[in-house]
Structure 1
């Protein structure tokens, strides 16, 4: 009996792994993944062979119209110091299964670079997407950006900062909308000035010590009339800094005439806000499908 009890957790773990792998197989069947595509030329002086890469997930079926499928560019989080696109293949597969072309990107991380370089990487990935996504079945005229945590802040910069895009090959902003999944970094200027919480000084590793940079990399100060639409999903138990800055961001959008959908998910902490994207029918995908017109 004792031996059985010792084996049971192992058997349970194996059963869970089998279920997960079977689910991923079923989800992957309707989609095709193109892995490790370089979005920066290998001849560029700052080319990073590991971080300047993206994956494309496309439905195997031909798009129902000649324009192609809507496109969602997903930016991972990780406090601007960690994270990898390979952790988020489940996001790409589920987006593709539901009638979108997904682009899941890497970008360089701190301390090797700072947030301005990371934002430039994301802009270059967006420029690659607009120029190349047609060959994967995507519609370059319907490109949306999505991010969780630090990735949400970077996605917001792509949506609000036309000068950032112009410096990186996009004279016109192609973003048609932004999906914010518990975004961090919307107002790092106020956050780093206050240093309100224990351990906050660690965020000076990616943002540096210059308040002018903090403000330049805070999309809340770039809000203006006629921005692409935003949609927000905020965890009911997320960090106060995220809920607070997201609420202020929403209020500033309202002042310009945009009333972004803003959903607080009760009981949900910060990390589960992205983990829930494993399940195809969760509330974020429900809203996202309508938002992008999939």
Structure 2
């Protein structure tokens, strides 16, 4: 079994089940929220613009809040070469139902681009959010990031690498906190140097062959004492590489005094770590709502 086989590398039967559950949940919880689909977060004349990948959806509570709702930008997983915002409607709906404006994004994937460009896309989506989310009832000064698997690694990178926002013209990192759900790629520098598992060569497609780049896109090497608060969740039965890298990430956060929690969820494998987000009362949502100040 591949250690980093992520969300979209699953049997067809499971994919069908996930899709069916997503549609059922979409119907069941749609009424308390409003979904605005396929909003471009880049102008069409920007070099490299992709009309299918440079888009996002916004999920807003139907009732307005005087000060604006907290905002969570959700980044999907998929081994850096697959995945789509449309499968995660349940995340957007659940968050909006609980008093959070959710922004669920697409970004370009391998082999079209490598991870540094994916991180740039995510930063641009966050920039769009800070500039426009007030139009959808969100507070641009309360923006958080969240992701599962590869998306969790990208969310961690956004929270820790301030250079990503300097590149898009922001003097400060706007991220107020991060929710990392079984994140992959937290330390790809270590992972790709070792090449311990079968077929690890496949990750040279999204990450390239330069060890300096591997290190540059690994959040472990960017976290600092000024990094925002984080919620870090790992499945007890997740892939060994995710388990080991997140432990090192937790240790680094502790050493630097970054406010965070590290939770190992009993019995959970990698895919169920995101499937649990169908249910609003799971521990991730409970902790998230406290972190973002919803309610």
Would you call these one fold, judging by a TM-score over 0.5?
A: yes
Q: CA deviation at 1:21?
A: 5.1
Higher relative contact order (CA 8 A, sep 6+): 2
> Is the radius of gyration larger for structure 1 or structure 2?
1
**Residues 1:243 and 2:249 are matched in the alignment:** no
Decide whether the 8 Å contact of 2:22 with 2:87 is kept in 1.
Answer: no
Q: 45, 51, 54: which is aligned to 1:52?
A: 54
The match for 1:217 is 217
Matches within 5 A, 1:106-185: 106-185=106-185
**SS class of match (1:88):** helix
Matches of 1:276 and 1:234 in 2, distance apart?
13
| TM-score scaled by length of structure 1 | 0.92
Structure 2 residue runs of 5 or longer lacking an equivalent are 1-15
Matches of 1:37 and 1:231 in 2, distance apart?
28
**Residues 1:40 and 2:4 are matched in the alignment:** no
The match for 2:284 is 284
Instruction: List per-residue Cα deviations over 1:199-220 (Å, max 9, x = no partner).
Output: 1111111000000100000010
The match for 2:9 is none
Decide whether the 8 Å contact of 1:124 with 1:169 is kept in 2.
Answer: no
Does the C-alpha gap of structure 1 residues 50 and 20 become closer, same or farther in structure 2, counting only changes over 3 Å? closer
What RMSD over aligned residues (CA atoms) do the two structures have, in Å? 1.7
Decide whether the 8 Å contact of 2:228 with 2:258 is kept in 1.
Answer: no
The match for 2:77 is 77
The match for 1:102 is 102
Does the C-alpha gap of structure 1 residues 125 and 21 become closer, same or farther in structure 2, counting only changes over 3 Å? closer
Decide whether the 8 Å contact of 2:75 with 2:151 is kept in 1.
Answer: yes
The match for 2:87 is 87
Does the C-alpha gap of structure 1 residues 102 and 192 become closer, same or farther in structure 2, counting only changes over 3 Å? same
**Residues 1:29 and 2:31 are matched in the alignment:** yes
Decide whether the 8 Å contact of 1:68 with 1:139 is kept in 2.
Answer: yes
Does the C-alpha gap of structure 1 residues 256 and 35 become closer, same or farther in structure 2, counting only changes over 3 Å? same
Does the C-alpha gap of structure 1 residues 216 and 58 become closer, same or farther in structure 2, counting only changes over 3 Å? same
Structure 1 segments (4+ residues) deviating >2 Å:
19-26
Does the C-alpha gap of structure 1 residues 240 and 166 become closer, same or farther in structure 2, counting only changes over 3 Å? same
The match for 1:188 is 188
Does the C-alpha gap of structure 1 residues 150 and 42 become closer, same or farther in structure 2, counting only changes over 3 Å? same
Q: CA deviation at 1:70?
A: 0.3
**SS class of match (2:47):** coil
Structure 1 residue runs of 5 or longer lacking an equivalent are 1-12
Q: CA deviation at 1:282?
A: 1.1
Does the C-alpha gap of structure 1 residues 20 and 211 become closer, same or farther in structure 2, counting only changes over 3 Å? closer
Matches of 1:128 and 1:50 in 2, distance apart?
16
| TM-score scaled by length of structure 2 | 0.91
249-258 or 180-189: which moved more?
Answer: 249-258
**SS class of match (2:77):** coil
